[in-house]
A and B are shown apart, each in its own frame.
Chain A
Amino acid sequence: MLSYMKSEIYHVLHEKTIYIAATVLPGLTVLMNVMLAVLSGVDESFRYGTVRFSLNMLTGLMIAVVYAAIAMGSLLTSDKKTGVLKNIVATGLSREKIFIGKCLVTLLFSVILLILTVGALVASAYLLLENREWEPLRQLLSGILTIFPFAVATMMYIIVVSMHNDSNGNLIIMCFLYLLFPHIIRALSMVDVFGVVATVLGKISSWLPLNMLNYEVDVWFSSYDCFWNKPGGMARGILAGIAWIVIMGVAGIRVYRKQDL
């Protein structure tokens, strides 16, 4: 598996995708902070040139980490479409190892990109903006830590779905369904006619990380109300994410084992 991972790392490093992502994502965060600093400099009434506002942008949009995981999973899993996967299988490497290896390599590059992007956001915020307090950074890092396992599970989902679907269209549909599913469960849990079922669905809904992100995160300039900051909230987010990793791991191994190439 190590040889496979080395070859995958070689592949990623010899494609433009990773370099574009590593430039654009941190670049955008720096650009945002530069603009905040400039606006703050030219207009004294502009209230948003602060570290808190800048970091809260990401804290409040923590779901972006999940979207980034979808993007990374899609960008780095073209081997079924290109036909490379069938060659990999023919070398004798077990399909389970291929799946695990692919997840690990994608995770490695995703973490590097996450560190670069968040690092660029935080560094430029503290360098360029006012009110250099540390509380927003703690809140941001708590959010990332909470949602990280679920982001990993999402990336695994994309790897599994890519194995099952050759076309980009199918992949987009599967992503859409993945993002829609928690909303449907939540909506059904609110329909009274379901009775006990609705109660159960409500419980399930509250443990779905996407619903936690969609309905239990409220961050703005001065407000900060996130589930990970409440008692047991962070543990709930992390545990739910780990459960999804296990589900995706089992699904991935099943799909990789059975799929004809």
Chain B
Amino acid sequence: MEMDIVKSINLSKDYKKFRALNKVNITVKQGEIYGLVGDNGAGKTTFLKLLAGQISASEGSFSLFGKESNAGKAEARSRIGVMIEETGFYPNMTIAQNLEYYRRMKAVAGKEAVEEALSLTGLMPYSKKKCKAMSMGMKQRLGLAIALLGKPEFLILDEPINGLDPSGIVEVRNLLLKLNKERNTTILLSSHILSELEQIATVYGFLHKGNLVEQITVEQLKENCADFIEIKVGDAARFSVLLERKLGHTNYSVLPDNSIHIFEPGEQIERYSNLAAEEGLPVLGLGRRKKSLEEYYADVKRRGMELC
């Protein structure tokens, strides 16, 4: 059985009267790439900062590598690479010097560790560049390089592809997949770019206004996003009654724009248009569709709003 790298129990954080994180229970297992999804202010960064020890919890607890005590978590953090918000570095030192500074602090043996981090993140040609002259993309890469120093077993990355150009995004994505596959590095990352997360995450946690609305594996997500039929008719309420009475179909949802999503629809989609035609309901649109992560997230958010 895979070890729990992170396990939070009712973890909460208040900033004065504002509750940024509310009783969040998240488990990240060894080898997973856990994607934390949520709008700005959903509590993603707050959760990551709590794990990194940068802020303290108001309520609840969490363990890192199974360690719950403060001393245990401090020891566990030496096995973690962190990149949260803008990474700190000394602007008057070069990229290589900043990495050397962190290498010494993390007590990583061998200067080649710096070279490896530079080469993994594509910063080798810029190693002698002063940090104050770095572009946004280079800052992100340096943050990632610092996080990668010492071959951490667990990476905590907050919006790692922010500010990267398209080729940089692909490089980082491939790098994370490679680390996960070859070194079995567990990764917990947050991102606004859901299409990117969709390509690497194996587990998702959906946060909304500080609440964890859903935690779901990629397999479950695929199941939940499986094929459905979208039919738009003149009178959605009447059609839904027909669906249940005449076809015995109860797994559907009616959307505000009068369209109906019919799940587990079977192979013959004509029967739905025929049903509408028989009852004199005009069919304005009909098609087979699959939910994207973005659409699924929108549904989760709706549920989150109901929870709040």
Q: Which A residues are closer than 8 A to B by beta carbons?
A: 3-4, 6-7, 10-11, 14-16, 78-79, 82-94, 258, 260-261
Chain B residues lying within 8 Å of A7, measured Cβ to Cβ, are 101-102, 104-105
Cα distance, A15 to B146, chains bound together (Å): 20
Chain A residues lying within 8 Å of B102, measured Cβ to Cβ, are 7, 87, 91
CB-based contact A15/B90 at 8 Å: yes
CB-based contact B92/A16 at 8 Å: yes
B195 close to chain A: CB less than 8 A: no
Known: A10-B104, A82-B91, A86-B88. A93 touches B97 (CB 8 A): no
Q: How large is the interface on B (under 10, 10 to 19, 20 to 34, 35 or more residues)?
A: 20 to 34
* Contacts A/B (CB < 8 Å), 13 sampled: A4-B105, A11-B90, A11-B93, A16-B92, A79-B88, A85-B88, A90-B52, A90-B80, A91-B106, A258-B56, A260-B54, A261-B54, A261-B55
- Nearest Cβ in chain B — how far from A257, in angstroms? 9
Chain B residues lying within 8 Å of A93, measured Cβ to Cβ, are 74, 105
Residues 36-82 of B contacting A (Cβ, < 8 Å): 49, 52-56, 73-78, 80, 82
B84 close to chain A: CB less than 8 A: yes
CB-based contact B88/A3 at 8 Å: no
Chain B residues lying within 8 Å of A11, measured Cβ to Cβ, are 90, 93, 101
B224 close to chain A: CB less than 8 A: no
CB-based contact B54/A14 at 8 Å: no
Cα distance, A79 to B87, chains bound together (Å): 12
Cα distance, A90 to B83, chains bound together (Å): 9
> Which DSSP category, helix, strand, loop or mixed, fits chain A's interface?
helix
Cα distance, A16 to B132, chains bound together (Å): 14
B264 close to chain A: CB less than 8 A: no
In addition to A7-B102, A87-B88, 10 A-B residue pairs with Cβ atoms within 8 Å of each other are A7-B104, A15-B92, A86-B54, A86-B88, A87-B146, A90-B156, A91-B102, A92-B75, A92-B77, A261-B54
Cα distance, A91 to B107, chains bound together (Å): 10
Cα distance, A88 to B89, chains bound together (Å): 11
Cα distance, A78 to B90, chains bound together (Å): 9
- Nearest Cβ in chain B — how far from A253, in angstroms? 14
Query: Which A-chain residue is minimally distant from B54 (CB atoms)?
Result: A261
Cα distance, A258 to B56, chains bound together (Å): 8
Cα distance, A29 to B19, chains bound together (Å): 56
Contact of A94 among B74, B88, B89 (CB under 8 A): B74
Cα distance, A95 to B85, chains bound together (Å): 20
Chain A residues lying within 8 Å of B196, measured Cβ to Cβ, are none
Known: A14-B93, A15-B93, A16-B92. A90 touches B104 (CB 8 A): no
Contact of A91 among B87, B92, B105 (CB under 8 A): B105
Cα distance, A122 to B100, chains bound together (Å): 38
Chain A residues lying within 8 Å of B90, measured Cβ to Cβ, are 11, 14-15, 78, 82, 84
CB-based contact B88/A92 at 8 Å: no
Cα distance, A223 to B76, chains bound together (Å): 62
Cα distance, A78 to B107, chains bound together (Å): 22
Query: Which B-chain residue is minimally distant from A260 (CB atoms)?
Result: B55
Query: Which A-chain residue is minimally distant from B104 (CB atoms)?
Result: A7
Cα distance, A261 to B102, chains bound together (Å): 18
Cα distance, A82 to B93, chains bound together (Å): 12
- Nearest Cβ in chain A — how far from B61, in angstroms? 17
- Nearest Cβ in chain A — how far from B251, in angstroms? 46
Chain A residues lying within 8 Å of B88, measured Cβ to Cβ, are 79, 82-87
CB-based contact A86/B84 at 8 Å: yes
- Nearest Cβ in chain B — how far from A184, in angstroms? 31
CB-based contact A260/B92 at 8 Å: no
- Nearest Cβ in chain A — how far from B108, in angstroms? 9
Chain B residues lying within 8 Å of A91, measured Cβ to Cβ, are 77-78, 102, 105-106
CB-based contact B53/A89 at 8 Å: yes
Cα distance, A205 to B170, chains bound together (Å): 65
CB-based contact B101/A92 at 8 Å: no
CB-based contact B101/A83 at 8 Å: no
- Nearest Cβ in chain A — how far from B6, in angstroms? 14
B235 close to chain A: CB less than 8 A: no
Cα distance, A85 to B102, chains bound together (Å): 11
Query: Which B-chain residue is minimally distant from A84 (CB atoms)?
Result: B88
